[in-house]
């Protein structure tokens, strides 16, 4: 059966196990009094019992089930309390999990409970233990067809522990797909109330009980808080997707307890093992309290980022290591939230500097001397803008598995290595795993994707300088007009002020309004009877171009919407071909039809057909996957003087079906370029 015929639905993790209510702790009185954090540092200790494995180093103690490898307790120094929610069942505290399926049997949830325990390393400086299973045909349909190896590492004098997992699907094993894979931590509800994602995204959070007593909105993840424990949260919306970040920004996030004064953090020193490239958005921490490190998901992309494997397709991948870090501050520190966050960021910097780690014992995780480096300089050539090549300033340049230009954003099986180019376009990509790659890039301010025309083979210790690379973005004629800025985001367009009934107080600043619930509904309020009209030379995209092209609500039904771009042309070349470039920052079950000067034409000049499943509008993203289309506009359709291009979004199944635009440009018919290309 072709893998395209089946899929894996992604739901909330709590729905995979049992009811949410059964996961809530009993209503015991909360911890009373003040806790102090101290302790005596001593050497590494490993205790192996029939049902438990304990690793400790005087700073942190980790208790795992034997042989499943579930994390049942994390303790810090001499604080006699479990940082995880001890009232949950032992398989609902700290665990790896996946959603997987075989054709016709999708939606299997598995917490990856291992069957074999083994000590890999145990010396005065390091403990590394393995929890694994070996798959065979008797497990078909019961377990994901991979060999599994979960690893946990504790180092001397380290205030935390490392963990990574290896998936290995052998040739000839059944075909299957993965919808989501991650490691999750459910923290103590008595202790952890303050969540921190970035410098600006941090707050005291509502409780799980608040959500259960709240009012579900358009989808289960979004809940209006009705009677929260903290009255200041009343009337706010809580939704885990409001706390997503891009892969490139996922370095550290976590929770802070005010009593005792400690922080719990997940640190990701490299995103080489994450899918979809640097701009793939993913969940981090959210109400629970919960902290996640997600390796696979279809969030903000759709099923294209859920890998599917054929039975003749061998595949092995290492996810991680990620570092679980615990820190504390003394009673004398007045601003504990800032102090713990600053320290967590400093620890992230140390982890990044140490990457790739030298201590993982698996041969599947190569050390720095087994990796290579690629350098070069990226230039942009657009003779309609400049007679000279332009430095690829701030370009995102990366190595990803071989594929077509732009394929990296849909890659979900291999490793990727990305950097941001310097002002002169120079770049360096270090610590690349051995293997074969293409070099890809995109440049802010220019549409399209660059792909180097030569496959790059990395060998251990190699250092390849690619010299000067030239990207020639799509261009056929001079710019007649443009809307927006080409940066794969709709952030520069008009995001309206949120409905006060649905405000999350963390996002009251204008640049964060897109993270608020229900912003898409404002379109129908702003354009109740007539759709958006944008007049070139008069309208401003920051004020007049709505950030999302969604249906309009009329009564109880949704109707298609047609946006108009009005512009003038002084002189038309009837025999020429004009180019309309349309770049989307997101698409969700949407279809765009393009008509020129005839809104009621039965057949559109162009249609995308139905595209996209990234659901970025509903999930408070300002982008999903990038799409670029070129529409040929015959000159005989244009008029000397005023013209109108009509953009119709036809799909109306859901209120958040539609597009977010990145950039639109109309190019004139090709002419002699003002700046001719000269040799050299």
Q: Which pLDDT band holds residue 233 (cuts at 50, 70, 90)?
A: very high
pLDDT given for residue 411 in this prediction: 97
| DSSP at 414 | S
pLDDT given for residue 183 in this prediction: 98
The answer to whether residues 473 and 380 touch, using CB atoms and an 8 Å cutoff, is yes
The CB density around residue 260, as the number of other CB atoms within 10 Å, is 17
Lowest mean pLDDT among 62-71, 99-108, 148-157: 99-108
DSSP assignment of 271-329 equals -TTSSS-TT-EE--EETTTEEEEEEE--TTT-GGGS-EE-TT--EEEEEEEEEEEEEE-
Percentage, residues of the chain above pLDDT 90: 91
pLDDT given for residue 56 in this prediction: 98
The answer to whether residues 666 and 481 touch, using CB atoms and an 8 Å cutoff, is yes
What number is the average pLDDT over the span 250-262?
97
pLDDT 10s digits, 4-47: 323 333 323 332 333 333 333 443 333 334 444 555 456 899 99
What number is the average pLDDT over the span 600-607?
97
The answer to whether residues 619 and 625 touch, using CB atoms and an 8 Å cutoff, is no
Which residues fall within 8 angstroms of residue 137, CB to CB, at 6 or more apart?
none
* Upstream peptide bond of 289 is cis (omega within 30 degrees of 0): yes
pLDDT 10s digits, 542-576: 999 999 999 999 999 999 999 999 999 999 999 99
CA neighbours closer than 13 Å in the CB half-sphere of residue 638: 27
pLDDT 10s digits, 500-550: 999 999 999 999 999 999 999 999 999 999 999 999 999 999 999 999 999
CA distance 257 to 262: 5
φ/ψ bin of 301: left (φ > 0), alpha (ψ from -120 to 50), beta (otherwise) = alpha
Q: Which pLDDT band holds residue 672 (cuts at 50, 70, 90)?
A: low
Which residues fall within 8 angstroms of residue 631, CB to CB, at 6 or more apart?
579, 580, 581, 582, 594, 605, 606
Q: Which pLDDT band holds residue 72 (cuts at 50, 70, 90)?
A: very high
β-sheet bridge partners, residue 607: 593
pLDDT given for residue 129 in this prediction: 98
Q: Is the pLDDT of residue 252 over 60?
A: yes
pLDDT given for residue 1 in this prediction: 32
Q: What pTM was estimated for this model as a whole? A: 0.92
Q: Is the pLDDT of residue 393 over 70?
A: yes
Cα–Cα distances in Å, from 436 out to 95, 158, 402, 469? 33, 35, 7, 19
How far apart, in Å, do the first and last CA atoms of the chain sit? 53
DSSP assignment of 10-55 equals ---THHHHS-HHHHSPP-PPPP-S-----------EEEE-SSEEEE
What number is the average pLDDT over the span 334-355?
98
Which residues fall within 8 angstroms of residue 33, CB to CB, at 6 or more apart?
none
The answer to whether residues 161 and 154 touch, using CB atoms and an 8 Å cutoff, is yes
pLDDT given for residue 673 in this prediction: 56
pLDDT given for residue 105 in this prediction: 84
Q: Residue 246, exposed/middle/buried by CB under 10 A (0-12, 13-18, 19+)?
A: middle
The answer to whether residues 325 and 262 touch, using CB atoms and an 8 Å cutoff, is no
pLDDT given for residue 42 in this prediction: 66
pLDDT 10s digits, 640-663: 999 999 999 999 999 999 999 999
Percentage, residues of the chain above pLDDT 70: 92
Pick the residue with more confidence: 593 or 675?
Answer: 593
Q: Is the pLDDT of residue 664 over 70?
A: yes
The answer to whether residues 52 and 131 touch, using CB atoms and an 8 Å cutoff, is no
Closest CA to 342 of 229, 456, 443, 196: 196
CA 576 to chain CA centroid, nearest Å: 42
Which two three-digit tokens encode residue 128? 């590394």
| Mean pLDDT of the residues in the chain | 93
pLDDT 10s digits, 428-487: 999 999 999 999 999 999 999 999 999 999 999 999 999 999 999 999 999 999 999 999
Q: Which pLDDT band holds residue 675 (cuts at 50, 70, 90)?
A: very low
């Amino acid at each position: 059966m072709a893998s395209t015929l089946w899929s894996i639905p992604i739901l909330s993790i709590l729905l995979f196990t049992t009811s949410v209510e059964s996961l809530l702790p009993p209503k015991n009185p909360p911890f009373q009094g003040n806790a102090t954090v101290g302790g005596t540092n001593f050497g590494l200790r490993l205790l192996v019992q029939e049902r438990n494995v304990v690793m400790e180093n005087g700073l942190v103690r980790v208790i795992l089930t034997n042989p499943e490898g579930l994390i049942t307790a994390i303790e810090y120094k001499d604080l006699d309390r479990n940082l995880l929610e001890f009232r949950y069942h032992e398989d609902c505290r700290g665990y790896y999990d996946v959603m997987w399926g075989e054709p016709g049997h999708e939606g299997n949830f598995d917490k990856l409970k291992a069957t074999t325990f083994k000590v890999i390393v145990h010396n005065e400086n390091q403990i590394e233990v393995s929890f694994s299973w070996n798959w065979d045909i008797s497990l078909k349909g019961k377990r994901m067809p991979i060999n599994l190896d979960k690893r946990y590492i504790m180092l001397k004098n380290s205030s935390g522990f490392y963990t990574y997992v290896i998936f290995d699907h052998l040739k000839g094993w059944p075909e299957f797909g993965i919808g989501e894979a991650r490691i999750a931590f459910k923290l103590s509800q008595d202790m952890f109330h303050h969540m921190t994602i970035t410098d600006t995204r941090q707050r005291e959070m509502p409780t799980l009980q608040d959500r259960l007593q709240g009012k579900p909105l358009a989808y289960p993840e979004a809940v209006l808080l009705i009677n929260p424990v903290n009255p200041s949260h009343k009337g706010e919306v809580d939704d885990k997707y409001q706390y997503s970040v891009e892969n490139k920004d996922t370095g550290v996030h976590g929770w802070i307890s005010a009593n005792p004064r400690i922080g719990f953090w997940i640190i990701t020193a490299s995103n080489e093992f994450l899918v979809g490239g640097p701009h793939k958005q993913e969940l981090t921490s959210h109400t629970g309290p919960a902290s996640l490190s997600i390796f696979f998901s279809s969030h903000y992309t759709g099923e294209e980022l859920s890998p599917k494997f054929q039975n003749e397709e061998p595949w092995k991948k290492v996810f991680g290591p990620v570092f679980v870090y615990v820190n504390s501050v003394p009673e004398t520190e007045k601003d504990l939230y800032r102090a713990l966050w600053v320290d967590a960021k400093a620890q992230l910097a140390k982890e990044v500097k140490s990457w790739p780690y030298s201590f993982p014992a698996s041969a599947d995780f190569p050390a720095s001397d087994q990796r290579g480096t690629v350098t070069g300089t990226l230039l942009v050539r657009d003779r309609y803008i400049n007679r000279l090549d332009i430095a690829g300033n701030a370009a995102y340049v990366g190595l990803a598995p071989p594929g077509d230009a732009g394929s990296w954003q849909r890659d979900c099986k291999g490793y990727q290595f990305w950097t941001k180019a310097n002002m002169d376009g120079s770049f360096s990509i270090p610590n690349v795993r051995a293997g074969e790659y293409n070099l890809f890039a995109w440049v802010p301010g220019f549409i399209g994707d660059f792909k180097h025309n030569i496959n790059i083979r990395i060998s251990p210790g190699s250092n390849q300088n690619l010299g000067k690379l030239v990207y020639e973005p799509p261009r056929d004629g001079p710019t007649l007009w443009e809307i927006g800025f080409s940066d794969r985001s709709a952030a520069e367009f008009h995001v309206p002020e949120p409905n006060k009934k649905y405000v999350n107080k963390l996002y009251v600043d204008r640049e964060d309004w897109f993270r608020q619930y229900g912003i898409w509904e404002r379109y129908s309020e702003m354009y109740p009877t007539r759709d958006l009209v944008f007049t070139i030379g008069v309208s401003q995209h920051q004020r007049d171009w709505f950030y999302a092209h969604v249906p309009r609500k009329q009564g109880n039904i949704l109707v298609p919407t047609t946006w108009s771009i009005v512009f003038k042309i002084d002189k038309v070349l009837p025999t020429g071909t004009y180019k309309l470039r349309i770049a989307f920052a997101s698409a969700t079950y949407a279809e765009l039809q393009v008509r020129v000067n005839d809104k009621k034409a039965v057949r559109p000049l162009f249609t995308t057909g139905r595209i996209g499943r990234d659901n970025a509008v509903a999930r408070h993203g300002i982008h999903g996957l990038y799409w670029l289309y070129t529409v040929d506009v015959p000159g005989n359709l244009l008029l000397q003087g005023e013209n109108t291009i009509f953009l119709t979004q036809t799909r109306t199944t859901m209120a958040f079906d539609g597009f977010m635009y990145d950039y639109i440009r109309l190019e004139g018919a090709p002419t002699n370029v003002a700046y001719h290309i000269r040799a050299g």
